[in-house]
Structure formats: C-alpha cells, structure tokens
Amino acid sequence: MYIVEMEKRDGNEKAKKLRKNGFVPCSVKMGDPEETVLYVITEGIGAKLLREKARGGLVTLKDGENEYPAVIKEISYNGMNKVIEDLTFQVLDDKKVVSTVAKVVLLNKDKVSTMVRVLIPEIPYKALPKDLVETVQIDLAQLKPGESRNIEELEMAQNPNIEITVDKSNAVLNIVGSGKNA
C-alpha cells in the first residue's frame, strides 16, 4: 500500500503560512466517535501522492510509529497556482462502511478513432474497507462508435458488497460518432 508520511500540526497554524513554507495542510478523520486530527506533509510528498493516487485512493498514513489504513476523501487543488491547498483522509475501520469514489480509467484510447465522452469520471459508492475499489477500468477497444458503457455493466456493479450511490443505468461514457468514417 502507498505510504504517506505525516506530522501532526498545531490547529493555530494558518494554512496559508504552511503552504508558503512548503507544506500541505491535511485533515484526517478517525476514531469512534469521529474526530478530525490535523497534519502536514511536504509539498514533494503531496505532489508525488497526486501523481500516483486520486480521490478514493487507498493509502497508509504514517505518523511516527503509528500507521493507519485510509482513503483519500478530498483533494483541494488550485490549478491556477499549481498548489495543493488541502487534503482530507478517512481512516478505515474494518467494520464501518465508507463512502468514497472509484476513478474511471480508460484503456486502449489509441484504438478509438472518434471522440470518447466521459460522463462520469468517478463512481460514488459505499462499501466496507475489504471491498473498496480505487479504479474502474473500461477497455475502449471493446466499444464501437455510437456505443456507451453504463455503470450497471461494470464489474464493481456486480459485487453485492458494493452499494453504488447513483443510478446504475447512468452512462459512464459514450463513443461519439457513427463509425462510418472510422
């Protein structure tokens, strides 16, 4: 599992000052009852994390000697300044259902000669930690122009331990065009 090294931070420290000093403020939701613990990571760790993981990604948070399995809940990114403003994580409890998302990943984009319109880039769902899914892969080589792929057709929708929290008949993507010029 991907490890994120963190340090606790004082709640009185302003996020803007932390970012100016090369840190990314993080919030970690943990415990029962749930509490939020404040942490920081370096910009370098944050940048690497976002190159390899997305919202819904599974990670291990490391605070000194303590390690916690977690999921990335929220990413606040300022694209204009190219700055990670804040990250929120949810520590996983084997017995508690988690609400999260699975990122849609397209395979064989080079096999499609027309435009692919992605309608749902992340699929929201609920599951126990043992059933969490980071990504849903869709092989575009299997689709022809004019076809689409609905949530109910995806492998994760077939798992009875995963509760999709949007209408399963929604199209995730469609291949634009008739295929006559393809």
* Tokens of residue 126, six digits: 């609920």
Give CA–CA dist 173/113, Å, rounded: 15
Residue that is last in its domain, among 73, 91, 109: 91
In degrees, rounded to 5, the angle at the alpha carbon of residue 152 between the alpha carbons of residues 148 and 155 is 100
**Res. 178 pLDDT band, cuts 50 70 90:** low
133 found inside a domain: yes
What would the pLDDT profile of 20-77 be if each residue is shown by its tens digit? 999 999 999 998 788 999 999 999 999 999 999 999 999 999 998 899 999 999 999 9
Report the predicted TM-score, pTM, of the whole model to 2 decimal places.
0.89
What 3-state class would DSSP assign to 168?
A: coil
Q: What digits encode the pLDDT tens for the residues 85-117?
A: 999 999 999 999 999 999 999 999 988 888 999
Q: Is residue 182 included in any domain, yes or no? A: no
Record the tokens describing residue 91, joined without a space: 């520590």
Residue 125 inside a domain? The answer is yes
Average pLDDT, the chain: 93
Write out the residue range of the structural domain in which residue 127 sits: 98-175
Domain count along the chain: 2
Distance CA 166, CA 147 (A): 21
Which of 22, 57, 91 marks a domain boundary? 91
